[in-house]
Structure 1
Amino acid sequence: MQFLGGRRKVHGSYHHKVQNSRKSKEDRDIKELLKKADFKWTEEAESAFQEMKKLLKELPTMTAPIVGETLILYLTASKEAISLVLIANQGHVQVHIYFVSKTLIGTELNYPAIEKLVYTLVHTMRRLGRYFQRI
């Protein structure tokens, strides 16, 4: 997720919530409770569990596109990876359709930035060709 600077606004909330849920006090409490041999479910554990359920419900999920709707493709290329996210506007909300990320290896690491973006498009067409009209 850190490589997709062009779409941080879209996925930033997902990354932020995942990071916060990993660091939350409730998360640490549950981990501590699970380590103990004499495990007992307490009100504190129940509260932490309910908070984690709430956070998971709020995370963005991938959805299927509606036939004929306009799709938006965000591409990004960093020094070591290429990424893309396919999004659709449904109402006033951007919904995630598909996400692809690839770590660059070997000579791919030496590509200039513009070639990495072109490579991202090629990689996208290989993976997501069914979402695009054939001309």
Structure 2
Amino acid sequence: MIGLTGELDGSNFEQVIDAGRAARDGGAQRIVIDLAGLTYMGSSGLVAIHSIALLMRGQEPTSPEDGWQALHELGTATAGSGAPGVLLAGPPPSIERVLDRSGMLGLFPVLTDRDSAVAAATTG
């Protein structure tokens, strides 16, 4: 479980990727990203979620030093390509709009709350 609060932007997105990497390296088969506490998510937040999806598929994400390349990779993602091991929980309406407008909303299972996401992660 990765619980996010406040703002997810260029100042902290690498910490979120590191948390996803640590969970994967610790043997996690599925990761729930709890978005309920977010008040803002910029494009770096989209990169963080996409990077965790790549990690869960056994791929290494583009380095943040590569700048825009990380965002361009988001454009090549297709429905269902997020990762079967990543579930998003409880995005507030403003965060759900960001996910929708970016095209990422359809890439991941989105559950209404943390408990539902954890249940789905442990059963499916």
Q: Report which structure shows greater RCO (CA 8 Å, sep ≥6).
A: 2
TM-score interval w.r.t. the shorter chain? under 0.3
Rg: which structure is higher? 1
* TM-score, normalised relative to structure 2: 0.25
* TM-score, normalised relative to structure 1: 0.23
